[in-house]
Structure 1
């Protein structure tokens, strides 16, 4: 995709409206009314065979009657007439088409087939199609409003720098008003509807390359083209355009993938989480969070680090901010002792640590607050500063006592993010924003928003520093054999790919099991061998710490009886024996083939912990070593691998190499595999071993 691909949609010089109406409140009348009201400089061409004039403009009986090609055609007719209108637009060499009409893929199979026919015809002709069943698009700088969005009847905000794209027209319209009330001003808007042609990813990609768009706000319900979305988000991150996305809904991965822990834990929602994090997009959980972040990104530069300084006349607000910092990934560095003493020299009962509590004494003399505020601003140990001032913004007289000092400090420290939390009049809020100071009524929301902005800034800087860190592939990836991939076959394949496995023997009888145990050396682990049993411990198919021939014999009989009791139809082929490995930490390494984004790697604590704690992280495959190390360090249980409570740390390099190798195997066979899992992989102080393997075909 190039930066000009969607220009016919967002930058048309001429727009025809098929189904144009003289009623400015009807679907076919609103786009004309909006563009006349806002001063669209291009040509507006109403198409209606029953009228010669519409809203003061000459009307045409057909698109052909216009006599020349147009950049964009809006279709606002009954569903049964839409295909004919599309053909008319294509015959007249239209460059883009916006279909408002519904009654297609969202209704039934016949509608879906009609939608696919239209999409194919437009694709073959090189024409951009948005919709059907969409409320349209607009670009504020050109006053182009190819939309019937009802919110525009009430208010048209002046042009801004936030692009908004939504799969839902109703949500998009509501967000336009909600964000507008917060002070957000938009550059472009797109509601993609059924996405027969242009989708959310296409719009994000275009807006990321648009010089008038600084931040992109997106609402997403699903994704049909995972790689397209991934690429669009990466383009935005590379161009330092923050993307704030609200993704709703979830779906199952399918029965086959769910047969492994990896598959069952990789719900579509968690995979989306991982993709957004990989690509530097912030996932908002509520519409208000979406709006607050879009507002903040549109005004302020992103922080250069996670160090927050807080100044407040209220100790309670300091506690609120401190609690929010912990949740938001921010730290509160203390002022140095010398600066703390300077604070106390100004107000003896103040707390000069951080949050800096000036106490209520400053309410009677605002200059005391201003002097302490200067100490906080001038300290170079903060990346962001939050100032709480209660209700001062409601009093013109009191606000005037702080205003000039605050603005002067803002100008002296342009590299910092500065936020103000208080009750304030609209005039005061506008003054703050004109100085690139963020305004919040709630200090906790302010703190959480600063945390999100800090994460976005870190993601952009990390992307700029990214280098390819892929190790040389030691062995070619082995081909998948035909037939069922039981544990033994899975082990053989993964060993050939380069994964280290603990020694093992396969036994078809109790006698063979005793012989195998002697060869391996006691104590041993014995596990039932069956292609029909994915989770052996659940059916009593694992026995640990067998220290003698007699123990193996007794365990064999008892284990086989238990397993047959649980799984009478299973094909039981014997047992697998391995040495007991002690002194390590059980981890799980896995891959699930996501239907949207393809092979996704999983890492977490293994054994029974993967089921109990579900402390896992996902990342697209294949991985490089840096990405594998980051996955390992990101789990909550990482201290167990890093030498917690005096325990020897695990060989993290060995663990990362194993993850990379498994990811290369998974990526090489992505067309054939539903999931792969090694559980456990025992991470030792030196080296590590895979113990159990499971491979499930698509």
Structure 2
């Protein structure tokens, strides 16, 4: 059943089920908030134990109502909530929001409740927000259908931002902080457990609402990633920017199987690349989420690849500007100096720009005419993508001197303009917010928001996600089996031969020196098991090495090796790791990293959703620090980066294999040879579904 946006956010009638007579209680707040906000639709109160609730007529059940409501808010405990949802479904109520908890998170009894809930929803005749949703709000029509205490706040400013949040309390934090800063919202929804409706599907249903111009997402998980992708692509088509704050920047347990790739593609790294490929600007801070939107509406997403962003800074306080510059630089934003032509134009206006990276006007910048003229010139200078004005103490006591020039300048054509307020200047912040000028009140938020806006790209992926999971045992491939799989996709490995333990060493089909490695699918990391010997010069050394490998491996792992892989030693320009793993929420991810045994230690890596094309593969190469070595660092030889890009594309295609289905794969190391000589796989690990 398609979600009705009208029933969700513009209902003509509401039913509050289980509303309390005490307006100070959680279950009593929604009625109080709706009346105070002036909701002009019909409100029906359902409470079987009372004749009246908060002075209003109470009905015994939904069936007793004079008409079917468009939207029901269920405020009871879990068991009664399920009874109410059953009745809503039977009577044809299109949407319900459920505050109740006590489902999948609540042990054995909760699992029984969850099963019953899913059975009701499976009938397909009602849509649910929740359970554990604190409610739905549309500030433009007074729909404060929420139990969040923050909505007791009077005169909340209205605006164009719609908020979707996994956390109920956070929507209250956004509106209260937003009021202080003069930032208004169109609507907010707490999605709760997303048993039915997800953030993506709810936001998707609101896209054609003309009162909604942009979106803020507070995300705890990427479940229902397919709906989030669908929403993000449609939002980009309509020019409605999306910003997200996701919990989980700290190290989380990676779904580690046999390879290093799993640890490199941890939960937060996955979120980063997923949101970036959808064109969603991810901020690092909650305050950044609140303050980034005016900037996103001015800075278009990049259409032609990665963009560092070039920022020009003008200030009346050198120390304050330096704080902002530090924070931008830490996030990969280029703070660039004004060109000589731009400085000459400033001097023609009687403004001394100095010679530094920033334009420090000192106290002269507190004059309206000086600041306004400087901003006009910088905003037309071709060397900048954005101009940041840093305001000192005058922003608090005399906002007309520094802030008003920014407001007036922003009304005229030119590069996007933002303001960093060094002092606590709430009046100046509200003045800027009212004028739609991005304003930041601490350097970390300033750097965070500017980086998120400048680095935002238009969506680079429109193909559906493949997050289907294989249920059952998988088969781990040994190294030779991995090579056979690679050869099918045009990738070559170093020359090799498999020898049986106990057999005499035969003449090799390639020259010494060689490396000997234990060959056993049960041993994923051969070096850790003592199963590798390098720089073997002749047959006698090879025989000794094979005996040593068998002995060490059995001692370290308990496994008695029966086969040894002998491989010709090859030298190249450098080593990389190329692999992919399947994320349970967003599907297969391709990883490129500096290769070798210290891959996880250095964590020099980048990733993309699979499969990738050649342009994306070349971007990945440029994003790792090891690419400098591969590209002739300090006059050294250049590696075959074209062949490396082809290898990345080939490995990414393994993710689309269906016969067999490849669950996880890694080449580490992949040797990059000199330009024109290609690449060679030196080791491989993989898992397939039988």
**TM-score calculated relative to the size of structure 1:** 0.88
Asked if residue 572 in structure 1 is aligned to residue 564 in structure 2, the reply is no
Q: How does 1:542-691 map to 2 (within 5 A)?
A: 542-567=532-557, 569-669=558-658, 672-684=661-673, 685=675, 686-691=677-682
Q: Which residue of 1 aligns with 2:446?
A: 446
Say if 1:487 and 1:692, in contact at 8 Å, map to a contact too: yes
* SS of residue in 1 equivalent to 2:533: strand
Change (3 A) 1:290 1:425: closer
Asked if residue 307 in structure 1 is aligned to residue 310 in structure 2, the reply is yes
CA distance in structure 1 between the partners assigned to 2:361 and 2:474 by the alignment: 74
- The CA deviation at 1:506 is 0.7
CA distance in structure 2 between the partners assigned to 1:5 and 1:653 by the alignment: 50
Asked if residue 487 in structure 1 is aligned to residue 486 in structure 2, the reply is no
Size of the alignment, in residue pairs?
672
- The CA deviation at 1:362 is 5.0
- The CA deviation at 1:50 is 3.8
- The CA deviation at 1:636 is 2.5
637-646 or 232-241: bigger deviation? 232-241
Q: Which residue of 2 aligns with 1:416?
A: 416
CA distance in structure 1 between the partners assigned to 2:54 and 2:155 by the alignment: 19
Asked if residue 394 in structure 1 is aligned to residue 396 in structure 2, the reply is yes
The C-alpha deviation readout for 1:233-254, integer Å capped at 9, x for no partner, is 3333443333322222475344
CA distance in structure 1 between the partners assigned to 2:533 and 2:199 by the alignment: 52
368-377 or 656-665: bigger deviation? 368-377
Change (3 A) 1:508 1:653: same
Change (3 A) 1:315 1:70: closer
Q: How does 1:26-37 map to 2 (within 5 A)?
A: 26-37=25-36
CA distance in structure 2 between the partners assigned to 1:621 and 1:28 by the alignment: 46
> Which of 320, 323, 337 pairs up with 1:320?
323
The C-alpha deviation readout for 1:98-141, integer Å capped at 9, x for no partner, is 11122222211321232232233234133111112221111111
The C-alpha deviation readout for 1:553-592, integer Å capped at 9, x for no partner, is 332233333223222x214122112221113311111111
657-666 or 407-416: bigger deviation? 407-416
551-560 or 622-631: bigger deviation? 551-560
CA distance in structure 1 between the partners assigned to 2:238 and 2:638 by the alignment: 39
- The CA deviation at 1:672 is 4.8
The C-alpha deviation readout for 1:73-97, integer Å capped at 9, x for no partner, is 1111232212211111112110011
Say if 1:501 and 1:689, in contact at 8 Å, map to a contact too: yes
CA distance in structure 2 between the partners assigned to 1:181 and 1:541 by the alignment: 63
- The CA deviation at 1:687 is 0.8
Say if 1:207 and 1:216, in contact at 8 Å, map to a contact too: no
* SS of residue in 2 equivalent to 1:29: helix
Q: Which residue of 2 aligns with 1:274?
A: 273
- The CA deviation at 1:330 is 2.3
CA distance in structure 1 between the partners assigned to 2:478 and 2:614 by the alignment: 29
- The CA deviation at 1:303 is 7.8
* SS of residue in 1 equivalent to 2:477: coil
CA distance in structure 1 between the partners assigned to 2:623 and 2:275 by the alignment: 15
CA distance in structure 2 between the partners assigned to 1:348 and 1:223 by the alignment: 51
Q: Which residue of 2 aligns with 1:143?
A: 142
Change (3 A) 1:649 1:325: same
Say if 2:395 and 2:421, in contact at 8 Å, map to a contact too: no
Say if 1:681 and 1:690, in contact at 8 Å, map to a contact too: yes
Q: How does 1:331-370 map to 2 (within 5 A)?
A: 331-341=334-344, 343=346, 350-360=353-363, 367-370=369-372
- The CA deviation at 1:408 is 3.9
CA RMSD of aligned residues (A): 3.0
Q: Which residue of 1 aligns with 2:515?
A: 525
Say if 2:670 and 2:681, in contact at 8 Å, map to a contact too: yes
Say if 2:299 and 2:454, in contact at 8 Å, map to a contact too: no
* SS of residue in 2 equivalent to 1:381: coil
Q: Give unpaired runs (5+ residues) of structure 2.
A: 464-472
Q: Which residue of 1 aligns with 2:195?
A: 196
Asked if residue 515 in structure 1 is aligned to residue 516 in structure 2, the reply is no
- The CA deviation at 1:19 is 1.4
Say if 1:343 and 1:352, in contact at 8 Å, map to a contact too: no
Structure 1's consecutive aligned runs of 4 or more residues displaced over 6 angstroms after TM superposition are 345-349
Change (3 A) 1:641 1:225: same
* SS of residue in 2 equivalent to 1:539: coil
- The CA deviation at 1:225 is 2.8
- The CA deviation at 1:194 is 2.0
